[in-house]
Structure 1
Amino acid sequence: MQDILINWSPQETRVGVVENGAVQELHVERTLERGLVGNIYAGRVARVLPGMQSAFIDIGLERAAFLHVADVHVAGSPRAEHGPGAAPPPPIERLVFEGQTLTVQVIKDPIGTKGARLSTQISIAGRLLVFLPQDDHIGISQKIGSHELREQLRTRMNLLAGKPADETAPYNGGGFILRTNAEDATDDELGDDIAYLRKTWGLIRERSFKTPPGELLHQDLSLVERVLRDLASDNTQSIRIDSRMQFDQLVAFGNEFTPTSVSKLVHYKGERPIFDLYNIDDEIARALARRVDLKSGGYLIIDQTEALTTVDVNTGGYVGARNFDDTIFKTNLEATQAIARQLRLRNLGGIIIIDFIDMAREDHQNAVLAELRKQLARDRTKITVSGFTQLGLVEMTRKRTRESLAHMLCEACPICSGKGQVKTARSVCYDILREILREARQFNPKEFRVIASATVVEMLLDEESQHLAGLSDFIGKPISLQAEATGSPEAYDIVLM
């Protein structure tokens, strides 16, 4: 069973998903970092630019937003036909005019001096589906299984959406794209999503008739609301939230859009912070560390890079089994559960390489791979696992859904620039000695003054004093030292006096 804890504050919302007493997922949203993508506005055409086949649209922001002709929905032209090789759209001046009111959606946030980029082709994301209110097409993600499976899903969706079998019959129920995570969804789950999306679009349409240009018609759901739409399921036992105001708003939202989840909502009134119930803050700190300790004494090392994430499994101090093969096997089995949990907790996506401890027996390899797949089956994100490679590595991919926890909460260290290591004091001393020799060949000062960190200066005065004195004799100039608090132990300066 699953419990969801929501810690709300005006600046930040944090959500912890707890299963069997352990935190499995963390979600964080910061008020000042919420983008505009997905927001729908009542816009007014401020200026049409035929030369650029674009228009500037006033949506009430500091800078006018930008609408290109390729992003203008043309009635009777399915968006599937807007791809490469399709007939070009009519010129922008025939589609929009100055002063016109348009319902527009942000598809790219404003960056620097550029305004937001807009589209009049509206799409609304649900839990399992994307709704295209101006289309009548039923699309299925290409990442879903075989052609036969996609056609089966399309047939189911046509029935659930109420689309007539006769393609010439009238239908205005909108188009849908089945998302990858809907591959195993039941008819009830898909039906609930269809009802939610149509209701959302109905409210947007209603507001568009009453709202003046420059006003927001629909904002993409906040993290608190997405808990009900995306995270709550039949396995959810309770959804506890520590804000009375947000609890009331969530009950109202749930009654309107996800009535089956409302009974699970609980306003948490305890004196202890809600995240202390399961030590979630400690889990967040551990989820940002490289090393993850296993109960047996083994451990994982997780390294996240731009290209991929690597997970290295080590036995550590575990000697509990009868022989070395059993020790390795049991450590690898235990690691599968920890790896599956860490991928969800840290929200690691893309290519993931797991280096299990080498196993001599093939049945051990098969058992570890089967256990890994079993543990990963709980993940709501799409995962593909390959078998062991010739090098004994397991390759897998996990769909990127949002920024990883580390990218959201951390930034590269300004001292080491994200390398994770800095030069030793001795290495910096030798850099300084080489730099003094280089400058002595170009300049003729009275003295060289070295300004460096206290650790480096101390080493130059102590262990490296003989080399410093020898260099001073060789160049025929005195070398003085000055210790200063520097931002980095690698930083130094050489002043010509």
Structure 2
Amino acid sequence: MPERVLDVTAGERVEAHRKRRMADEVLINVGLGEIRVAVMDGDAPVELVLERTSEDDLQVKTGRAGHSLLGNIFYGRVQRVLPGMQAAFVDVGLSRAGFLGAREARCLCELTGLDERTLPPISSCVTEGEAILVQAVKDPIGEKGVRLSANVTLPGRLLVLVPNQSGVVLSRRIDDEMERERLTAMVSGLAERFNAMGVTGEPAGFIVRTAAMGMTEEALMEDARRLADDWAEVRAIQKKSSPPSVVFHDLDPVAKTMRDFVSMDTARVQIDDATAYDEAIRYCKRAMPHMAERVSLYNGPGTVFDQYDIDGAIEQALDPRVELPSGGWITIETTEALTAIDVNSGRYTAATGLEETSVRSNIEAAQAIVDQVRLRGTGGLIVIDFIHMNDPANIEKVLATLQEGFDKDRVPTQVSAMSEFGLVEMTRKRVREPLEKLLTEPVYGDGRPRMKTRGTVANELLRAIERVAARYPGAPISARASYDVIAWLQESHPRLVESLQARVAGPVRLEPMCGFDREQIDVGPQRP
């Protein structure tokens, strides 16, 4: 097992930095139709990740039905180049061609002397019929195909390998200057040795991940060698393949969770599926052996999410209104351009006057905003309308609360000063689709902006059936839902129904109900 750095002073600084961002616990819930991950801070979830595992023809063709395409590398062929759109469509073997923008194709440009801020013509990057290596950076949504990039990278636990580029880039979350210097020197030396020895077969650089803080050169070298081996395998598969084909699959969801969310500071990982547990242990033994003893198989009642009511937190994350302890509330509304958050004090009035009322409501709101933005996976531009305050010291208190909260966030976030109108602008990097987009869809003419998708309700129905089956072993079960939810299961995803029947002891009867709302379900033992 790689040793930690021995510099006590540097180690203490790094340890303090990490504790601001450590996860107390990671919960992995494996259902029939989706895998859900909750990153916990005490008893509260601070981050939720969802990956659907139901049948999808886009993903069946990759050989791994139902998992996200993110991180997969394809050997594709350019179908069409559209100069007017500054984009190209690339056949990567899916039912729809992938989209490659000029920005993501820039590394293929043969023009010289271009300013870094100048977007090259797409026709100078790719030509129709050309075979190129691309990576999925955004899953297909609706009628849109997978979004691609020619900037191929391979992520490890500590480092990210960047083929065909030189240099070392550090995560912005590593903010201790001495630690940055130490890591830069070590990883630069690694990159130079790798390139001199031709380990990757071509020039390569590295991105240093936050998890690398405090790690020894041996640990970094081990991660780099593993990535170099993976890249050599990608190139070997590419040489034997004809486009379109998949040349690299990123890790399965459970192993990916272990890589991206679990660190030396994670106290425990709980998983409620035996197969997924075995998968996590295998990954630990290969990449982080010290963590294997902290991974446990959850055998309690219900799912691993039930012990902390994570489903209740998810429902809250889909509600535009969030109540505050003193009686106020915040309203969160997301549009195409930005997310607007409005703070209201409600009927709360402090005994010391209006200013104190505003300060207390705003501080409570700032704490709730941090929690909800992280939980919902909100990214992009966020504008917060705080209640007006006159005292600059109070304004600083509110901003400090907001900033301290986001200091624990692993996603890069920038918070601006408060304007004279009480507005605070902030940006948060988009790292995945927000929960709202994953779980709901727009509603037109129904008086409400969004409703849960058929797939979301169907997965809730499957979980409810398994809970009832555990409570009444072997009993026939009646599961009632709206016509479109039952049709989603029986007609579009019959394998899920087959898997459900194999997992529960008694027969399950799916009943479509014409009077049910989309989000309404009813599950229980069948009546005689």
Equivalent residue for 1:38, pick from 65, 71, 77: 71
- Cα 1:208–1:19 shift into 2, 3 Å: same
Tell me the residue number matched to 1:240: 270
Superposition pairs for residues 171-320 of structure 1, below 5 Å?
A: 171-173=198-200, 174-178=203-207, 182=210, 185-188=213-216, 193-204=223-234, 216-319=246-349
Structure 1 residue 359 displacement after superposition = 1.3
What amino acid is aligned across from residue 12 of structure 1 in structure 2?
A: E
Change (3 A) 1:160 1:340: farther
How far apart in 2 are the matches of 1:27 and 1:71? 29
Task: Say whether residues 1:413 and 2:435 are aligned partners.
Answer: no
Q: 1:371 to 1:119 in 2, by over 3 A?
A: closer
Q: CA offsets per residue over residues 420-473 of structure 1, 9 Å max, x none?
A: 8xxxxxxxxxxxxxxxxxxxxxxxxxxxxxxxxxxxxxxxxxxxxxxxxxxxxx
SS of the equivalent of 1:246 reads helix
Corresponding residue number in structure 1 for 2:397: 367
What amino acid is aligned across from residue 350 of structure 1 in structure 2?
Answer: G
- Residue 378 of structure 1, aligned match among 384, 408, 421: 408
Q: Does 1:28 align with 2:57?
A: no
Partner SS for 1:373? helix
Between the two proteins, what is the percent identity of the paired residues? 34
Residue in 1 aligned with 2:27?
A: 5
Q: Against the structure 1 CA distance between its residues 91 and 304, is the aligned structure 2 distance closer, same or farther, given a 3 Å change threshold?
A: closer
Tell me which residue corresponds to 2:520: none
- Asked if the contact 1:228/1:258 (under 8 Å) is kept, the reply is no
State whether residues 72 and 249 of structure 2, in contact with CA within 8 Å, keep that contact through their aligned partners in structure 1.
yes
Unaligned runs of 5+ in 2: 1-22, 57-65, 82-87, 451-514, 518-528
* Cα distance change, pair 138–363 in 1 and its aligned pair in 2 (3 A): same
Going from structure 1 to structure 2, the CA distance change for 1:370 and 1:287 (only over 3 Å counts) comes to same
**Structure 1 residue 130: Cα displacement:** 3.5
User: What is the 5 A alignment of 1:85-484?
Assistant: 105=135, 122-126=152-156, 129-133=159-163, 135=164, 137-140=166-169, 155-156=184-185, 158-164=187-193, 169-173=196-200, 174-178=203-207, 182=210, 185-188=213-216, 193-204=223-234, 216-319=246-349, 321-416=351-446
Distance 1:407 1:92, change over 3 A: closer
Q: CA deviation at 1:258?
A: 3.1
CA distance in 1: counterparts of 2:145 and 2:79, whole angstroms = 14
Shift of 1:344: 0.3
Q: After the TM superposition, which of the residue ranges 254-263 and 308-317 deviates more from structure 2?
A: 254-263
Aligned-pair CA distance for 1:25: 1.0
| 1:320 Cα offset (Å) | 5.2
Offset, 1:214? 7.0
Question: Are 2:73 and 2:133, in contact at CA under 8 Å, matched by a contact in 1?
Answer: yes
1:108/1:375 Cα in 2 relative to 1: closer, same or farther (>3 Å)?
A: closer
In structure 1, the residue corresponding to 2:401 is in which secondary structure? helix
What stretches of structure 1 of length at least 5 have no aligned partner?
50-54, 97-101, 421-484, 488-497
Residues 187 and 220 in structure 2, CA contact (< 8 A), matched pair in contact too: no
Partner of 1:15: 37
Superposition TM-score, scaled by structure 1 size: 0.66
Shift, 1:197, TM fit? 2.4
1:19 CA drift (Å): 0.6
- Counterpart-to-counterpart distance in 2, 1:207 and 1:117: 22
Q: Are the aligned partners of 1:140 and 1:153 in contact in 2 as well (CA < 8 Å)? A: no
SS in 2 for 1:239: strand
Alignment-derived partner of residue 452 in structure 1 = none
3-state SS of 1:381 partner: coil
Which structure: larger Rg? 1
Q: Which amino acid aligns with 2:167?
A: I
Contact kept in structure 2, 1:129 and 1:176, CA below 8 Å: no
Q: Which residue of 1 aligns with 2:469?
A: none
The alpha carbon displacement at 1:145 in A equals: 11
* Structure 1 position 183, deviation (Å): 11
Shift of 1:365: 0.9
Contact 1:225 1:250 in 2 (8 A): yes
Aligned length: 407
Contact map agreement 1:138 1:157 (CA 8 A) in 2:
no
Deviation at 1:380, TM superposition (A): 0.4
CA contact (8 A) 1:296 1:331 kept: yes
Give the C-alpha shift of residue 279 in structure 1: 0.7
Partner secondary structure for residue 351 of structure 1: strand
Question: Which residue does 1:493 correspond to in 2?
Answer: none
TM-score (norm 2): 0.62
Q: Which residue is equivalent to 2:489?
A: none
Q: CA deviation at 1:131?
A: 1.6
CA distance in 1, matches of 2:357, 2:101: 62
d(CA) in 2 for partners of 1:226, 1:402 = 14
Distance 1:313 1:340 in 2: 13
Any conservation in 1 of the 2:78–2:126 contact (CA below 8 Å)? Answer: no
Structure 2 distance, partners of 1:68, 1:282, is: 39
Note the C-alpha offset of 1:402: 0.9
Change over 3 Å in CA distance of 1:220–1:417 after alignment to 2 = farther
> Quick one: which amino acid aligns to residue 17 of structure 1?
V
Displacement after TM superposition at 1:415 (Å): 2.3
Report the alpha carbon displacement of residue 356 of structure 1 after superposing the two structures with TM: 1.7
CA distances 1:98-139 after superposition (whole Å, capped 9, x unpaired) = xxxx97655787899998788887432345643234x25125
Deviation of residue 351 (structure 1)? 1.1
Partners of 2:284 and 2:292 within 8 A in 1: yes
Q: Secondary structure at the match of 2:28?
A: strand
Whole-angstrom distance in 1 between the partners of 2:438 and 2:260 = 20
Structure 2 Cα separation of the partners of residues 385 and 200 of structure 1:
38
2-structure distance, mates of 1:416, 1:395: 32
1:271 to partner: Cα distance: 1.7
For the 8 Å contact 2:168–2:184, the answer to whether it is kept is no
SS of alignment partner, residue 283 of structure 2: helix
Query: Corresponding residue for 1:478?
Result: none
Q: Is the 8 A contact 2:362 2:387 kept in 1?
A: yes
Residues 300, 193 of structure 1: alpha-carbon distance in 2 compared, 3 angstrom cutoff: farther
Q: Is the 8 Å Cα contact of residues 160 and 187 (structure 1) preserved in structure 2?
A: no
Aligned to 1:480: none
Q: Secondary structure at the match of 2:365?
A: helix
C-alpha deviations, 1:50-82, integer Å up to 9, x for none? xxxxx99997656898999997999x999x999
Distance verdict in 2 for CA 1:305–1:62, change over 3 Å: closer
Post-superposition CA distance 1:126-160 (Å, at most 9, x none): 45643234x251253898999x9999589426435
